[in-house]
Amino acid sequence: MPFRICFVCLGNICRSPIAEVVMRSLLDKEGLADRVEVSSAGTGDWHIGERADHRTIAVLERHGYDGSAHRARQFLAQSIDDCDLVIAMDQANVTTLQRMLGNDDGAKVRLLREFDPNATGSDVPDPYYGGDESFDEVLTMIESACRGLLDYVRSDVDA
């Protein structure tokens, strides 16, 4: 059975889709795509079924990624059964997820930037109310953290 990761943000149209696409690309390049499944979701329900924000798709395209297939979905308590690791974009998402999941399953929740040894903060800020430069900054943070997450996952799936 593959190792399963779900990236979670608030609405599943900006940060978590970027992380999903970036991580999937890294896994493909490393030959681990058949051993690690990646998805994303939001804690809120207001964007279910929608495409990623147009700025999300644009920043991904500018950097050689394809986010056009993304459709937003909501993370529900039962979603944890399909995850080995839930990667939250910020502390507010962690709090929401841990409240939703309780103590046992809440242990599966980690912050993305925990995996970046050079991170200067714990949160990936929400770029939704910012301009294109906010999306570029978020992509850079996510790429760096996903490289660290790849190392973590590689040691787990190779064990």
The structural domains of the chain, ordered by start, are 3-158 (3.40.50.2300)
Q: How many residues does the chain have?
A: 159
Q: At 74, phi and psi to the nearest 5?
A: -105, 140
Q: Is 82 a catalytic residue?
A: no
Q: What is the pLDDT of residues 89-113, one digit of tens each?
A: 999 999 999 999 887 777 799 999 9
Q: How far apart are CA 112 and CA 34, in angstroms?
A: 22
Extract the residue ranges of the chain whose pLDDT is less than 50. Answer: none
Q: Is 116 a catalytic residue?
A: no
Q: How far apart are CA 147 and CA 18, in angstroms?
A: 14
Give the contacts of 41 (CB within 8 A, at least 6 positions apart): 6, 7, 8, 12, 16, 72, 73, 74, 75, 79
How far is the first Cα of the chain from the last one, in angstroms, to the nearest whole number?
Answer: 14
Catalytic residue among 53, 116, 123, 126: 126
Question: What pLDDT, on the 0 to 100 scale, is given for residue 33?
Answer: 95
**Burial annotation 68-78 (CB, 10 A radius, 16+ → b, else e):** eebebbbbeee
Question: What pLDDT, on the 0 to 100 scale, is given for residue 48?
Answer: 96
Tokens of 108: 């599966």
Question: What pLDDT, on the 0 to 100 scale, is given for residue 159?
Answer: 58
The residue whose two tokens read 């529900």 is: 76
Catalytic residue among 15, 55, 73, 113: 15
Catalytic residue among 6, 9, 83, 146: 9
Model pTM score: 0.96
Question: What pLDDT, on the 0 to 100 scale, is given for residue 112?
Answer: 98
Question: What pLDDT, on the 0 to 100 scale, is given for residue 16?
Answer: 98
- From start to end of 2-68, where are the E strands? 3-9, 36-42
Of 139, 153, 117, nearest to 31 (Cα)? 153
Coil, strand or helix: which one is 40? strand
Q: Is 15 a catalytic residue?
A: yes
